[in-house]
Every structure is written in structure tokens, then in C-alpha cells.
Chains A and B, each alone.
Chain A
Amino acid sequence: MLAILAAVASDTVSKIAIGAAIGRGWFAADLAVLASGCLAVGGAAAWLTFAYLAP
């Protein structure tokens, strides 16, 4: 389960790298904001889930 979330997080981070390496400029900046936002919200949701629902 942790591996799945880690893989999804890593895929999300890879979008920052792709944006910076290929897209550059505003596109790269937007992808960095997108990935950071998704990681922050998803991470918070995961933390709450593990804190209150994990066995």
C-alpha cells in the first residue's frame, strides 16, 4: 500500500522533471505548482487516513 502511494507520488514528481527538462518556462512552473499541490493535499489525506483508519 505504501509502495503504491510512493509510486503515485513519484509519478507526480516526475511531471515536475518533465516540465522543467522539456517544457520549461511557464509550463514548467505550472506543473511544479500542480505536482506540489497534489502531493500536499494527497499527503495530508494519506496522513489523516493512516492516523485514524489504519489498523
Chain B
Amino acid sequence: MDLDELISRLGVALGIGLLIGLERGWRRRGATAGSRAAGIRTFALSGLLGGVIAALALALPKQEAVGAATLAIVLGVAFAAYSAVIALFTRDENQAAGHFSATTAIAGMLTFALGAYALLGDMRVAAGAAVAATALLAAREELHGWVEKITWPELRSAVVLLAMTFIGLPILPDAPLGPFGGVNPREVWLIAIVLASVSFLGYVAVKYFGARRGLLLAAAAGGVASSTAVTIANARRAATREGPPRLLAAGVAVASAVMFLRVVGIVAALKVELLVLVAPALIAAALTALGFAVAWMIWQHADRDEYRSVKFRNPFDLLSVVGFAVFLAVIIVLGRAVGEAFGATGAVAGAIVVGLVDVDAVSVSMVRLTPDT
């Protein structure tokens, strides 16, 4: 490492400390001098200290075989010593202020570690991590408020959705099972995840943006993934009287408009010469759907009390979501079977059946099948 690089890396280490220290110092800006364990100066020095220790460890004369071990030992001992000092001072500060918090100690240890990493590793990663840490520290009130407001059904649904995505999805076989091209269990599970996500998104949007804006925003966002999922979610809400039917129908209209435009986008991306034939019908249908949405919103607007009655009880129901996913997968297989059974004319027949569930798959496969002119 040459001198220029060393100086710039130490500069990043110092900057990391200043950034995190700025937030820490600002938060305790009302405290009297000498009553804080660490402020902007201490954090800036902590970042620089991490960088200097790493530079010292690099500069130590070492043999090839024990080089990495020496570096690790020096850094480990220095980190342990720094952690002990900052933990002691934080404990004294907590005792004097009469509260419990490990945030300053953890932030100090992170600053030291990031300072060292800025010298030894990728400076951009170290700086990015410092920005993320500062954002987390600065969002204290928002995060605490959010945790206080979250209900048990919301937490449970979020955990189930995460488990479906990060535990269930990777362990399912990614190969078709059964006749007519078969059912891919991972694809079925993916449909279930989309259905659950769209329903969850609608719940969260209504909670944070209100009934009218929330439902429409969720429908528009959900329509990007699947207008069928939005329709199923809104139909369930309508059946359980969790919202005004017309407002929920307006959501489906918005999702449908997004779906029509999405297909236009797919055709434009894959075979632009087909656009002139496909786009007019789809854009006309999208405008019609948007017209219905606007009309129904105005209609709803006359009765404001109806909006206030929107009360979603549960982000989503796992069993019904999985049930629908299996049902939709069966329709997809049926579509493939129809396509194979009817030979040359089977493409349209199969598309009609598969289109009941998944327009994108049909659009992509049909556009690719169209010969180049």
C-alpha cells in the first residue's frame, strides 16, 4: 500500500467515525460537557484508531506463514481492549443517567471495526456500512414507534411470509412433477408467495396510507406482479366485509390496467414489431379500466364514512393462499394439456386456459414463438 492510498484509507476511517459520531453527538447535544461516554470527537477518534491499528498490524514485520495470524491477533487484542474501555464508560454513563442502553457501546465497537476494515478491505463497503449504521441510529424514534404499533397478526404474517420465501422456497424441488410438462413445486410455492405478498402489501398500505390511497397504491403495485392475486385478495376482503365492495373493485380495476400495460411492456421489450397490432386493444382496455376506477372512486367519495369502515383483520391466511396456489397451478397444467391436445390450434386454446391465471407466461412464450419478419 503506497502513501497516497494509506492516507485516503485513513481519511475514510476518520470520516466513518465523524459520521456515526455526528448522530451520537447530536442525540445527546443537550447533555452537559463531560456527562457523555462518547460524542463526535470520541467516535471520530474511534474510527481513526481502528484504521491506525490495522495500519500498524500491516506494517509489522512478519513471515509469510504467520502473516494473517499476526494481523488477526493484533486486531483482535486491540478490538477487545477498545470494547472494554467503551463498555466501561457506557456503563458509567448509564448509571449516572439512570437508564439501560448498549447502543453507544455497540456503535463505538462498530466504528472501530469499520475504521479497521476501511484500511484492510473495500473502502466503499466500509463507508456504506457506516451510512447504514448512522441511518439506523437516527431512525430510533421511527423504529421504536413502528415496533410499538405492530400487532401480533402482522408480526406472525410477516414471519410466515419470510419463512415461505427464505426457508420454504429454497428447499422445494425445482423440477416438474407429473404429466403435460408437470407441476413445478417451486413455481406453485412462488405463486403462493405472490398471493401472500400482494395481500400483505394491501394490508400494510391501507394501514399506513389510509383506505382510499392505500388500496389503490397496493393494487397498482400488486398489479405489477399479478392482477389475479390482487383480485383474489380484494375478493376475500369483500367477502369478509373488511372494506367497501366498490372501493375494492376500484383496486381490481387499477390492477387490471397495470396488467394490460404490463403486457404492452413485455411485447415492446421482446418483439416491438408486434406492438402496433397488440397495443391499441390493450391500451384501450387499460384506459377503460382506469375510467372505471376513477368513476368508482368518485362514487365512493360521496360517502366518506364508508372509507373509515375499512378494517383489514389479517394480512393473509396461509392455508387459503396455499390452496389457491395449488388451484392456479392445476389450471396452468390444464392449459398445457389443452395446448398439446389440440395441436397447431392448441396455442390459442392453451393460452386461453393458462391466461386465466398467468398472462405473462403466455405473452413471453407466444412472443418468442412468433417468427422474425
Contact = CB atoms under 8 A, between A and B. Distances in A.
Given A1-B274, A25-B238, A10 B252 contact: no
A14 B263 CA distance: 17
A25 B236 CA distance: 12
Nearest to A33: B292
A27 to B, nearest CB: 4
B278 interface: yes
Nearest to B328: A14
A23 B234 contact: yes
B128 to A, nearest CB: 42
Given A38-B289, A45-B281, A8 B359 contact: yes
B359 A31 contact: no
Of B238, B348, B357, most buried by chain A (CB within 10 Å of CB) is B238
B281 A42 contact: yes
A15 to B, nearest CB: 5
B216 to A, nearest CB: 15
Interface of B: 227-228, 231-232, 234-236, 238-239, 245-246, 248-249, 252-253, 256, 259-260, 263, 267, 274, 276-278, 280-285, 287-289, 292, 296, 347-348, 350-357, 359, 362-363, 366-367, 370
28 contacts: A4-B351, A6-B351, A6-B352, A7-B351, A9-B355, A10-B352, A10-B356, A11-B228, A11-B357, A14-B228, A14-B355, A21-B235, A22-B239, A27-B246, A30-B246, A31-B231, A31-B249, A34-B252, A37-B288, A37-B289, A38-B288, A39-B285, A41-B285, A42-B284, A42-B285, A42-B288, A44-B284, A50-B277
A53 B367 CA distance: 19
Interface of A is mostly: helix
B232 A18 contact: yes
Given A1-B277, A46-B280, A19 B292 contact: no
Contact of B356 (A5, A14, A31, A46): A14
B69 to A, nearest CB: 62
A31 B238 CA distance: 12
A35 to B, nearest CB: 8
B63 to A, nearest CB: 68
A12 B263 contact: no
B288 to A, nearest CB: 4
A51 to B, nearest CB: 11
A11 B363 CA distance: 12
Contacts of A53: 276-277
Contacts of A39: 285
A23 to B, nearest CB: 4
Given A7-B352, A53-B276, 5 more contacts: A7-B363, A11-B355, A12-B285, A31-B231, A34-B256
Nearest to A3: B351
A24 to B, nearest CB: 6
Contacts of A18: 228, 231-232, 235
Contacts of B355: 6-11, 14
Given A12-B285, A27-B234, A4 B245 contact: no
Given A7-B359, A11-B228, A27 B276 contact: no
Contacts of A49: 276-277, 280-281
Contact of A12 (B234, B235, B256): B256
